[in-house]
Structure 1
């Protein structure tokens, strides 16, 4: 529901951005975050948690497109990429911090209410800090507030560069045609990217901060896509090997807690002695397993009636964390892709197996790699206006990351 809310938040946020500015859009996102957190913390029924998740999703959708937009429009071109990457690093750091905070609340009275409600604290902090920040100079200029835009640019750029930036803003507002093109080209990457680990994500963000303004966005995107494809293929092989060498299911342990607690498919199986842990997952969405470290066998469970027990299940000694990988992008299609991945992942694993599902995502990532190569130009060190002019002329890819026109020069 949070992802579904983010779809509408991104769409609605685009209108708010254009109508009322980037600053007010972020402030509204903070309010939605806070309302959602309080509603979830005070929930007396599941529908309240669902409603709170929708509010949080609306805020996520608005913030995900507005924050990097605000940063990029309010920062010098020479460090813009690093600052936007910093935003991504802080998002990743926030996710890791959330795990630690939740861990701290596991033994606290109220447990999940605190876990959900504490999310309102950073929203309040950001709301009041945001009040002290200026509006985007690019948006101000588009609203004919030229003097205010100049005043902000004078705080960002050296005095000898302000006039040049003002002229660039003027050209940009008069010919703002590139945004729709740039939106459409990035969404492929999001669909194929569904797994991450905090450490690797943080390292990737730091590397991006250090090199994005030196080597360019396009080159790093291509390298990162290669890394994503390799990791997804590795996960596919890992799950295939885990499936092949999965521990056997113990009939004794499976029926120890009663036949009503055991997976029905296992009880009706012609040769249950041939079952292993993965057989439970493939049999039905109602079936799960728990590993037994002592006997090296596993136990078949009916997950609907033993949900708490099924949560303890492991695949041997391998622990894999699967998360939605939220990309910072202005396109609503990214959130649609997130929703599709979230809603179909378990169905895909049931139909294709875990190995086949990750291999399918690797295929989507390969399509994304091809799309990035042919559709995404290099924008390193360029002003928005220069990007627009480049896209108007047309972009032809080359192996080194520059357009063929630039290479000829």
Structure 2
């Protein structure tokens, strides 16, 4: 092994040289190009929050209906749920590269459809197509990066995809501000989304397929050529040994075709999936996309009525999100996934309580408006380095090769379903019980998430895929009984 066993990977290669995020330009370039999938994800998340302000002005029916506003926002999530579910299968059957190219094409079509929409219903269909592309990309990008990354820096490289998500959100707010005075404001905002998809499609044509997928599914020699660009000769031999073991397992499983039911039937796979899917669900239920989809609306609720000012304040929130993710890239491989998530959740709980108090105490003259804006910024400052990248990183690490596509797709689907529930219900819940109590509900969910991570999520920092797989096998054996618990508590 070139790293220490357990959660304390040293980040030092076999030749004694420290492996860092910038050690290998080939791997970094691959991560950045693949991360354009995250950019699509982030841009779409952020741009609709600003575009919605102007869509309401153009379509009176939208302005008069909170449900229609929620549907315009959340229809992309419906598409993403389907895209993520199908994306896992596409990744396993056709590879990470082809899945990325397919996602780009669908996203481009959806962007053009939104820009040309003559009514809210065509706009909603365009949002659905964009969602299909984003959902597929959300499965593919982190998986592709993880499979081409040395274990010592895998967390940071996978978090590059999350940085691209937050960068896309920040870019969307800049675009929103740029087009506030342009005729056809929201059409430009939504249509520009096609640009990063076109760029990724072109660049992706020059990148190789995932070496792990190639080795196990298609061509060993081609896979070794790719691996030789990532690892030194000693480490290359070791990685090929791991892949040979994974190939033997794959060939055994081919005799009994891998199915979605196996995820729940085979105990170690079930344990891994429930931990990964739980992280993805809690990432959404603690309210991140409530903040990102509706931040301009929340700012206006806090007493700032100007569309431009609302967008400017939301831009600051998005910038903090991107900066926090950069910090997460450093911390995730040095501090660890589990500790980072727990620290992040602690701050999220405090900031959501602050937001709740600000809105409960709000007066007609907006005395507590700046407190609400500060609460939004504080929320992002704690969420971005931890609960932003950790769920996506952990979900690329905890599944065996044979189930990585299926489980990754199912877990991403859980994320998008949770995202849809939150996006579709936030405004309605705020109308029913008030904005302050709504944030208090999210704070309660964050407390449950903290307990979940503390009890069920293992540390995967610095471990090889095979070492992580052994964690679940050991848990499955240690908890074996006639009445099997779905999850086994993680040691502190």
Q: Pick from 421, 424, 438: which aligns with 1:357?
A: 438
Question: Quick one: distance in 1 between partners of 2:419 and 2:286?
Answer: 10
Query: What is the match of residue 188 of structure 1?
Result: 282
The alignment status of 1:370 with 2:451, answered yes or no, reads: yes
Moved more, 127-136 or 85-94: 85-94
Q: Pick from 460, 463, 486: which aligns with 1:379?
A: 460
The alignment status of 1:37 with 2:111, answered yes or no, reads: yes
Query: 1:175: how far off?
Result: 4.7
Question: Quick one: distance in 2 between partners of 1:173 and 1:190?
Answer: 35
Query: 1:38: how far off?
Result: 0.7
Q: Pick from 228, 248, 254: which aligns with 2:348?
A: 228
Instruction: Go from structure 1 to structure 2 and tell me whether the alpha carbon gap of 1:162 and 1:393 turns closer, same or farther (over 3 Å shift).
Output: same
After TM superposition, the structure 1 = structure 2 runs for residues 7-406 of structure 1, keeping only pairs within 5 Å, are 7-175=81-249, 178=269, 180-186=273-279, 187-194=281-288, 195=291, 197-242=317-362, 246-247=363-364, 296=365, 316=369, 320=373, 328=392, 330=408, 331=411, 332-394=413-475, 396-399=489-492
Query: 1:111: how far off?
Result: 2.2
Deviations 1:111-167 (A, max 9, x none): 222211111111100000011111111111221422222111111111111111011
Query: 1:11: how far off?
Result: 0.3
Question: Quick one: distance in 2 between partners of 1:57 and 1:145?
Answer: 32
Deviations 1:54-83 (A, max 9, x none): 011011111112111111111111111111
Instruction: Go from structure 1 to structure 2 and tell me whether the alpha carbon gap of 1:189 and 1:109 turns closer, same or farther (over 3 Å shift).
Output: closer
Question: Structure 1 residue runs of 4+, over 6 Å off?
Answer: 321-327
Question: Quick one: distance in 2 between partners of 1:101 and 1:378?
Answer: 39
The two structures have a TM-score, normalised by structure 1, of 0.75
The two structures have a TM-score, normalised by structure 2, of 0.63
Moved more, 79-88 or 181-190: 181-190
Specify every segment of 5 or more residues in structure 2 that has no aligned partner in the other structure, as ranges: 1-74, 251-267, 293-316, 396-407, 476-487
Query: 1:14: how far off?
Result: 0.7
Query: What is the match of residue 7 of structure 2?
Result: none
Query: 1:315: how far off?
Result: 7.4
Question: Quick one: distance in 2 between partners of 1:130 and 1:36?
Answer: 20
Instruction: Go from structure 1 to structure 2 and tell me whether the alpha carbon gap of 1:123 and 1:19 turns closer, same or farther (over 3 Å shift).
Output: same
Question: Quick one: distance in 2 between partners of 1:53 and 1:39?
Answer: 8
Question: Quick one: distance in 2 between partners of 1:379 and 1:172?
Answer: 19
SS at match of 1:156: coil
SS at match of 2:445: helix
Question: Quick one: distance in 1 between partners of 2:360 and 2:248?
Answer: 55
Determine if contact 1:21/1:139 at 8 Å carries over to the other structure: yes
Deviations 1:305-355 (A, max 9, x none): xxxxxxxxx975566479999874631111111111111112222332212
Deviations 1:152-194 (A, max 9, x none): 1111111111111011123334457646355333122331133
Question: Quick one: distance in 1 between partners of 2:87 and 2:228?
Answer: 28
Query: 1:3: how far off?
Result: 0.8
Query: Which one has more relative contact order, counting CA pairs under 8 Å at least 6 apart?
Result: 2
Determine if contact 1:171/1:385 at 8 Å carries over to the other structure: no
Question: Quick one: distance in 1 between partners of 2:368 and 2:86?
Answer: 42
Specify every segment of 5 or more residues in structure 1 that has no aligned partner in the other structure, as ranges: 248-295, 298-313, 400-409
